Amino acid sequence: MSQSGADTEQHQKIFKKAYDFTKADEIKEMGLYPYFKPLQATDGTTVQIEGREVIMAGSNNYLGLTNDPRTIEAAKKVLSVYGTGCTGSRYLNGTLDLHLELEEKLAEFIGKESCVLFSTGYQTNEGSIQTIAGRNDIIFSDRDNHACIVVGTQASNAKTVRYRHNDMDHLRAQLEKADPQAGKIIVTDGVFSMSGVIADVPGLVSLAKEFNAGLYLDDAHAIGVIGEGGRGSASVFGLIDDVDLISGTFSKSFASLGGFIVGDREVIEYIRHHSPAHIFSASMPPANVATVLKSLEILQEEPWRLERLEEISNYMRTELRNLGFNVWTSQTPIIPVVIGDMFDCFKFWKALFEEGVYSNAVVPPAVPQNQALLRTSYMATHTDEHLDQILSAFRKVGIDRGVIDQNGHSLIEQS
């Protein structure tokens, strides 16, 4: 074979997996593809998709601030002062006084000594975990943790032990088997992004203390959502002082993009000076930072948003259950509606969209086999009318698709 022919064969071999991937095209041909839908306009609670207006029941815009005139104005205001971007990393030429102001205010808000910003929430966990955990350390990671935590553990040189979801007995067993001389850190979502379940923070704190392990909570879906004043999952239990590191994102309640981690000053300074994701990424653009600063201010000045969010979450969880839907054990504005089969889930998603409601279809491997679901999530600015329209659509589609009956009973196998 000529060199050219060998090169072609090797080229085809490396990309074979890509050319063999046809599932997405098959689902598109069936008219059931629910992903990458371009939004043409939005006011937050409603969106324009494919030329029609639908209620958004799948956004992480928990406080409803992405279209608030005050956050928009804050973003506009800094453009004329700082421009559109920083064109460099925080380590070199990309630090603004706005970054330092936000770090100080976030540390004070959550109740920790120090804070460091990252360009995305994903980078925050990926970059912090691999920096803190080294070759002689062990990471104990919940099996349902977000992908960015998983990647952070994989990128570290530490040994990773995965324990059953929110199972403190299994975590204890894994800690007991571990090398007592190794450095240890327990890493978990504070609120799990598919189920809406809050981590067992009291159990985690107790085990961390008993086995001299660090404790790291990813509060992407908890800061600005639950806890005293929106301070997150540890705050729900009054345990912020007992958690070593708390991370969060700005792409949800804070109506922007970026991430952060707070903790003791020495630990944060170590991350600041050693995390590749921080050192080698361009810093958050000024408009993004200004948006977060304004969102944090609104969160503290308007507690009604958190109260309304909790009221809506409790109402929707109860009413969806009353209709006969399986919503697992959700405790937050994330409320899954389990459909079961993947294609049944896609068909339900499409029918719901045609009824004027947008949700998120989640299928394996993001959830267990035969547990495909529609991930719904709610915001403080949803009106009662929005909520009742969502429930009406779910009831109609649920009955039409044979998921529930007219009397509020589930017609699918529960898991």
Q: Phi, psi at residue 192, to the nearest 5°?
A: -80, 130
193 has catalytic annotation: yes
Q: From the candidates 99, 146, 184, 221, give the one annotated as an active-site residue.
A: 221
Tokens, residue 95: 């630090």
Can you tell me the distance from the alpha carbon of 268 to that of 93, in angstroms, rounded to the nearest whole number? 20
What gap in Å lies between CA 102 and CA 290, rounded to an integer?
9
Catalytic pick among 112, 146, 184, 252: 252
Is residue 352 within 8 Å of 50, Cβ to Cβ?
A: no
Active-site residue among 59, 156, 193, 295?
A: 193
221 annotated active-site: yes
User: Looking at residue 339, what DSSP letter applies?
Assistant: E
Is 337 in a helix, a strand, or coil? strand
Q: Is the dihedral of CA 162, 168, 174, 180 positive or negative?
A: positive
Q: What does the buried/exposed string (b/e) look like for 143-157 if buried means 16 or more CB atoms within 10 Å of the residue's CB?
A: ebbbebbbbbbebbe
One DSSP character per residue, 53-111 reads: EEEE-B---TT--TT-HHHHHHHHHHHHHH-S---SBTTTT---HHHHHHHHHHHHHHT
| 372: DSSP letter | E
How far apart CA 381 and CA 390 sit, in angstroms, is 14
Residue 341, classified by CB atoms within 10 Å of its CB into exposed (0-12), middle (13-18) or buried (19+), is middle
Contact 165, 328 (CB under 8 A): no
Given a contact cutoff of 8 angstroms between Cβ atoms, the answer to whether 200 and 168 are in contact is: yes
Contact 319, 391 (CB under 8 A): yes
Query: Distance (Å, rounded) from C-alpha 353 to C-alpha 358?
Result: 5
Partners of 184 in beta bridges: 138
User: Tokens 């998603």 appear where?
Assistant: 349
The 3-class secondary structure across 7-26, one letter per residue, is HHHHHHHHHHHHHHCCHHHH
Q: Are 130 and 156 in contact (CB under 8 A)?
A: yes
Q: Which residues share a beta bridge with 372?
A: 340
Give the active site residues: 193, 221, 252
